[in-house]
Amino acid sequence: MGTVLEDRASVGQASPPGLRAPTPGRPMRRGGGTERAGDRVARTAATAAGATILVALAGVGLFLLARGLPAVRAGQGDLPEGASSFWQLAGPLAFGSIWAAALALVFAIPVAIGVALFITMYAPRRFAGPLGAIVDVLAAIPSVVYGLWGLMVFAPMTAGLYGWLATHAGWFPLFAGQPSATGRTILTAALVLAVMVLPIIAAVCREVFGQTPTLAVEAALALGATKWEMIRMAVFPFARSGIVSGAMLGLGRALGETMAIAMVLSPTPFLVTIRLLGNTNPNTIAAAIAQNFPEAYGMEINALIGLGLILFVITFVVNYLARRMVARGARQGA
Amino acid sequence: MAVIVLDRAPTLTLTTRTVRRGRRAANTAATWVIGVLFILALVPLASLAWTAFSRGLARFDTDFLTNSMRGVVGAGGGALHAVLGTGLITGATIALSVPVGIAAAIYLVEYGRGAFARTVTFLVDVMTGIPSIVAGLFAYTVFSLVLGPGARSGLAGALALSLLMIPNVVRTSEEMLRLVPDDLREAAYALGTPKYRTIGKIVLPTAMSGIVSGVMIGVARIVGETAPLLLVAGYSDAMNYNLFSERMTTLPVFIYQQWKFKGTDVAAYDDRAWTAALMLIAFVLVLNLSSRLVARVFAPKTR
């Protein structure tokens, strides 16, 4: 098999077709039939499509690197928002991206687990499908619509609550500072983000909850466990890796989300703060790119592309970890 | 399955009498918390749907569907140019990504073995996680290399969206192709059918309903994309029939534009934004529903 593997792997690279053409009538290694001209064309075309994906992704990395790198050496005057160096721009934005996404997860994970439990364990089985579909509608709504909603409906509703929190719980570091009068804070943005990543996490949770071994469920109930105890003893231990990987997928989505944040948040350049309700807020990488790109020129564009590369690397790492956990969880579950 | 256990609840009530009060209280509390969390998740959806309906219907008229925003200041105008742009860019995206996606899925299922196939599988996973704005930046760098900085076109938008759609198409097609039973392939081979004809005449038609439904879901996802188009397709107020040059607005970008560049007559801009949002939501939901229908109605008859 070894030679066959290498053989297949090199198809589509520049091996001269004449050398590779098998004699007509020679049996194929897999399946059957005979390798004819049509077969060779089909195989080359399919492999070329696979190679296209490789080339496209390599292209993303290389193009962003080539165009983003000059910005690292750029100085004051060339960079967006009057930054004095690329890192002064990138650092706070990277913080903002991670902070907003982490906050969103804090809200989204418990709700997603509750939603998934409700659908898989509490709702009548007949309604499980439709209820799941309703939650999935949340994922189908475009982010720009969430932005519009967050800005015009949700943020004004929160402003009063933020004022109250700042007055009565201002001693708590997260709620300190002058509260925003518009409600367009990092907390509001994170809540909107939470709504957007909720269906992703809930979908993964629903899947792993549904795969709980029936034997464990029945054993727990037979021992007299209440439903909640059964969930804690049989469902959660089995689903832990699934929940974590679902959360990571949600994190990847939250980090890359652009429009909802760009519209809801009213940002202050170069700000790093953990205050949630203030009238000054840190910005995120994705939102900063969307806000600055249409009017950017020259080195500013390179700087924004460099920011994009940083975002790409962060989401790549997060998604890679999530996928690896999904794969490992599947192997354990099997 | 778990249902059976749930259906046996009556027998359990006998034992619950002996359950100590604390445990029963915890169980009741958990039931309430889970119910409340579920309702909590639906509150934003209800609020959003209500707002889109109540505010979007204000301008949901023939004017909106037959006019562009060219020369419009304040009230009036419409989103015809955005609908056109959405159609053109989405069409171009489908043309770019569906053939590549399906061919790559065929490669993975029918031909791919070894390290290269594993690499492609891994890269498709990576691709699903690309933030849309990064896809936009990539399309910008590619097109600015050819056409110089500041170039905006619908095609560049389609390239960015393809990058987001291809992994979707590959994933769903791959799944559907793997569902095709090997018996069918082997039966075709036994009749002396070449492999490429087996794929074209047996495997693809069997999987087609699933693939089409997957493509429709993919379209529903990219049709709402805003960020990459903001970077590479730009915004415009007028009709643009040409994918290859000049700025082109889509519905999501139209929404952003109405919010971002408000005139003094704020309500007119907000109404237009919500009407476009209503159209977009309706379109996405119809696509999602019809994809389920396609998958069910055109599924191969198993018996």
Domains of chain A: 2-68 (no CATH), 78-333 (1.10.3720.10)
CA B250, distance to chain mean position in Å, is 15
Contact, A40 vs B88, CB < 8 A? no
Phi, psi of B74 (to 5 degrees): 80, -140
The whole-angstrom separation of Cα B24 and Cα A48 is 62
Q: Is residue B48 part of a domain?
A: no
B224 belongs to a structural domain: yes
| Optimal mutation site among B5, B31, B137, interface A, most CBs of chain A within 10 A | B137
Residue B215 lies in a domain: yes
Domain count for chain B? 1
Q: A228: which chain B residues are within 8 Å (Cβ-Cβ)?
A: 26-27, 29-31
In tens, the pLDDT along B54-97 reads 988 888 888 888 888 887 877 788 888 899 999 999 999 999 99
Would you tell me the crossing angle of helices A37-72 and B80-106 to the nearest 10 degrees?
120
Question: Using an 8 Å Cβ cutoff, are B284 and B225 in contact?
Answer: no
Q: Does B54 map to a domain? A: no
| Whether the predicted pLDDT of B3 surpasses 50 | no
Question: Is B19 inside a domain boundary?
Answer: no
Instruction: Please tell me which of the candidates A36, A137, A217 has its beta carbon nearest to residue B285.
Output: A137
B212 found inside a domain: yes
pLDDT of residue B240: 85
Q: Is residue B25 part of a domain?
A: no
Is B9 contained in some domain? no
Rounded CA separation A97/B23 (Å): 42
User: B40 to chain A: which residues are within 8 Å by CB?
Assistant: 111, 114
Contacts of B129 in chain A (CB under 8 A): 252, 256, 315-316, 318-319
pLDDT at A228 over 80: yes
Task: State whether residue B151 sits within 8 Å of chain A by CB.
Answer: no
Flag if A57 and B142 touch (Cβ within 8 Å): no
Q: Judge contact between B102 and A50, C-beta under 8 A.
A: no
Residue A8 CB neighbours (<10 A): 20
Mind listing the pLDDT tens digit for each residue in B109-153? 988 888 888 889 888 988 888 999 999 999 999 988 888 777 788
CATH number of the domain to which B96 belongs: 1.10.3720.10
B107 touches chain A (CB under 8 A): yes
Q: What average pLDDT score do residues B270-275 get?
A: 91
What torsion, rounded to 10 degrees, do the Cα atoms A118, A252, B42, B213 define?
-90
Asked whether the beta carbons of residue A31 and residue B234 sit closer than 8 angstroms, the reply is no
Which candidate in B90, B138, B199 is best for mutational testing of the A interface (most A CBs within 10 A)?
Answer: B138
* CA-to-CA separations, A75 to A71, A281, A286, A309, in angstroms, rounded: 8, 25, 22, 19
Smallest Cβ–Cβ distance between B114 and the set A9, A66, A152 belongs to A9
Q: A250-271: per-residue pLDDT in tens? A: 998 899 899 999 998 888 877 7
pTM of the predicted model, to two decimals? 0.85
